[in-house]
Amino acid sequence: MEDSFTYAKDKCDKSHASPDFKVGDFVLVSTTNFNNIKGCKNLKDSFARPFLVKALHRGNAVEVELFEKLSNKHPKFPVSLIKPYKSSDV
């Protein structure tokens, strides 16, 4: 039983890189679940503007500081919907 657990953990660790976000970093948030942004789906930006990271939750979720237009959204996002912000991205 322990061997199978170790095998599964090693296999998962190889394919999943832990994100290296820190509190105070800027990140881009995917807009796939943003239904309140008006306009044509095909013309909508795939990532929203840079947000400030307020907190990290167990290494797989990031809490960001949202602006007023998105204040009704929950501020925690999984790392699969986040990418690091680089000044050349925008």
Residue 22 buriedness (CB in 10 A; 0-12 / 13-18 / 19+): exposed
Look at residue 23 in the predicted model and tell me its pLDDT.
92
- CATH code of 17-84, in short, is 2.30.30
Per-residue pLDDT tens over the stretch 53-71: 999 887 788 999 988 877 7
pTM of the model: 0.71
Secondary structure (3-state) at 53? strand
User: What ranges make up the beta strands (E) of 1-90?
Assistant: 26-30, 47-57, 61-65, 76-78, 82-84
CA distance 4 to 68: 48
Q: What is the mean pLDDT of residues 9-36?
A: 82
